[in-house]
Amino acid sequence: MGAANLALAGQTALVTGGARRVGAEIVRHLHAAGAKVAIHCHRSTADAAALAADLNARRTDSAFVCQADLLQVDTLRTLVAGVVAQAGGLNILVNSASTFYPTPLATASTSQWTDLMGTNLAAPLFLAQAAAGELKRARGLIVNIADIHGLRPLPNYLIYSTAKAALIHLTCGLARELAPEVRVNAVAPGPVLWPEAGLDDEQKQEIINHTLLQRAGSPADVARAVRFFATDAPFVTGQILSVDGGRSQRW
């Protein structure tokens, strides 16, 4: 990529859950646009280190790993402060880390509530709180990775769907709270990457059949939407962009 395309040169992005899957693809796209990237992970330290090494081989001192358990809310200020200290600032916060598993009403538990709400809702809220001052100084951006099932609940995923619905509402609220200095938007993916367990080929095809485009997407589709908010949408805030192949139009 030529220098003219490095729209995020001189900026730092913190991506939670950035070691694997969709989060890692977001990291790659923001890095390709010139940003220095802080790759957050909890347990996937080896994956995070490998990704950082690959990116640093492409551009020296352009990526580093920061480890934290996002359920430990009282440590999130330390996480943000560490990123700012190492990178010299913070321009973009991408809340990509997520926990996803079924919680049917009959068996849903308080521990599942704490886990799913903690990762999908509390962490984005309190990371935004911790980063607000730095993001305001930078006139920066928050992008939350929501889900189309925050708009229409996924059967048997009651707590997860509720958490993502609340994240969508949080996105709009933060856009108001942090204006005019900070833009806050969300990407709501549809079928872009299958869960690591739990869906057979027939179930996958049924989901694809409910998209207007009749195909699944990819993590890159989500990453391009995040990059759009970071590089090409200076007058956009408080918006939820569905990246779902039209699935939300055919429930």
Q: What is the pLDDT of residues 27-75, one digit of tens each?
A: 999 999 999 999 999 999 999 999 999 999 999 999 999 999 999 999 9
CA 20 to chain centre: 12
As beta bridge partners, residue 15 has 39, 94
Query: Which residues form the catalytic set?
Result: 160
Domain of residue 142, residue span: 3-249
Band of the pLDDT at 2, cuts 50, 70, 90? very low
Name the DSSP letter for residue 122. I
By percentage, how much of the chain surpasses pLDDT 90?
A: 88
Per-residue pLDDT at 200 exceeds 70: yes
Write down the pLDDT at residue 88: 97
Angle at CA 116, nearest 5°, toward 115 and 122? 85
Write down the pLDDT at residue 139: 98
Write down the pLDDT at residue 4: 47
Residue 124 preceded by cis peptide, ω within 30: no
The helix (H) or strand (E) run that includes residue 199 is none
Write down the pLDDT at residue 158: 97
| Cα distance between residue 45 and residue 71, in whole Å | 17
Whose CA is closest to 38, among 60, 12, 57, 59? 12
Can you read off the two tokens belonging to residue 107? 């068996």
Per-residue pLDDT at 83 exceeds 60: yes
Q: How far is CA 149 from CA 25, 71, 153, 205, 229, in A?
A: 21, 22, 5, 18, 21
| Cα distance between residue 210 and residue 126, in whole Å | 35
By percentage, how much of the chain surpasses pLDDT 70?
A: 97
Write down the pLDDT at residue 202: 84
Look up tokens 């619905």; give the residue.
165
Write down the pLDDT at residue 251: 67
Band of the pLDDT at 240, cuts 50, 70, 90? very high
> Does pTM surpass 0.75?
yes
Q: How far is CA 155 from CA 101, 158, 212, 248, in A?
A: 11, 7, 21, 15
Can you read off the two tokens belonging to residue 109? 């538990």
Total number of domains in the chain:
1
Q: The CATH number of the domain where 165 resides is what? A: 3.40.50.720
Write down the pLDDT at residue 207: 86
Residue pair 192/218 in contact (Cβ under 8 Å)? The answer is yes
Write down the pLDDT at residue 161: 97
Residue-wise pLDDT tens digits, 106-132:
999 999 999 999 999 999 999 999 999
